A = this chain, B = another copy of it.
Amino acid sequence: MSKLTTIAIDAMGGDNAPQAIVQGAIEALKENENVKIVLVGTKEPVDAELAKYSYDKDRVEVVYTTEEIDMGDHPVQAIRQKKDSSMVVAMKMLKEGTVDAMISAGSSGALLAGGQLVVGRVKGVERAPFAPILPTETGATLLIDSGANVDASPSHLVQYAKMGDIYFQCTMGRKPSIGIVNIGLEEEKGNKLVKDTFPLLKECKDINFVGSVEAREIPAGAVDVAVCDAFTGNVIVKLYEGMGKTLLRMIKAGLMTTFKSKIGALLVKDSLKNTLKQFDAAEHGGAPMLGLNGLLIKTHGNSSHMEIKNAVKQCLGCIEQGITEKMKAAFANNVEE
């Protein structure tokens, strides 16, 4: 048997923990024979969930913890004080190399804080950004950053582009087109950050920088990787979510207004569902936090077992491609600066 890839999963993170987390982990185990799962969480509920399934016990380990980080906790304080929380313990294992990757559906703020404080950044990396995957008409676009740094500097954005290039290649197997989120296509457009960053990205010969991308072109799939500060990124991710939900609600309500449309609704239901599923962020896997000493994937707070299972697959692909080693090599030159 080839060497197993070991993935720690924060069993207590997210709205549906530990049920959905444990279920997704067991499903992933069955679909991927080269993975070992380390479930990190509180003894009673995790054991109770595990007892529901039959599975290969050699490939599941449980690490018991006594604390949980809640959505209401202050991120930095929680990471510093709840040392025996499922999230912090999993992060320590990632840092120490006991596991190859980590998945959590827990608080984004705590994951960001813990990523920096516990896991630590690859040497030479200035900020470790969150990179959610936005569904598009033609597939998906990686948006970097949506969490780490709301007042980013040009050098941060250049590093995001390089990290996006590596991550995209590891997951998709081809070199991505990379754009900077802007308010027009011309080089002289933009706020100070974008204007200062644009020429630096043009100088990067190792990435496929295609210039500015306007927000209206993102849903159509104009670029593979879109780079921006975390304030802009957060607005984009949340507006995506809000527009999708609102339009869905309005379409549903609209279909229920006349007898004719009610009949039609029955006939178009499956087709509409498929279309909207294509635009559901959860279908496209979790958001990696890039540039850390180990692969950390954050799934949605309301992650289903499907999303956890998909995140495991996502980790396996990245680890196989040696993502962390590639990140280390790419930024090794920055260390002395």
Interface residues of A (CB under 8 A from B): 136-137, 150-151, 181, 183, 190-192, 194, 214-220, 229-232, 234-236, 238-247, 249-251, 253-255, 257-258, 260-261, 263-272, 274-275, 278-279
Contacts and interface: CB of A to CB of B under 8 A. Distances in A.
Contacts of A264: 263-269, 271
Contact of A279 (B247, B255, B269): B247
Contacts of A234: 183, 215
Contacts of A218: 239, 242
Contact of A243 (B232, B240, B258): B240
With a 10 A CB-CB cut-off, give which of A151, A181, A246, A249 has the most chain B CB atoms.
A246
A173 to B, nearest CB: 25
Given A215-B238, A218-B242, A271-B257, A183 B230 contact: yes
A258 B265 CA distance: 14
Contacts of A255: 268, 271-272
Nearest to A221: B246
A250 to B, nearest CB: 5
Contacts of A136: 246
A278 B160 CA distance: 38
A134 to B, nearest CB: 10
Looking at A183, A230, A240, the one whose CB has the most chain B CB atoms below 10 A away is A183
Contacts of A265: 264, 268
Given A183-B234, A239-B239, A246 B263 contact: no
B183 A137 contact: no
A327 to B, nearest CB: 26
- Identify whether the interface residues of A are mostly helix, strand, loop, or mixed: helix
B231 A183 contact: yes
A217 B194 CA distance: 26
A265 B261 CA distance: 9
Given A264-B267, A264-B269, 14 more contacts: A137-B249, A137-B250, A151-B192, A190-B231, A191-B229, A220-B246, A240-B243, A244-B247, A251-B251, A255-B271, A255-B272, A261-B271, A263-B267, A264-B268
B267 A150 contact: no
Given A247-B279, A254-B275, A183 B261 contact: no
A127 to B, nearest CB: 14
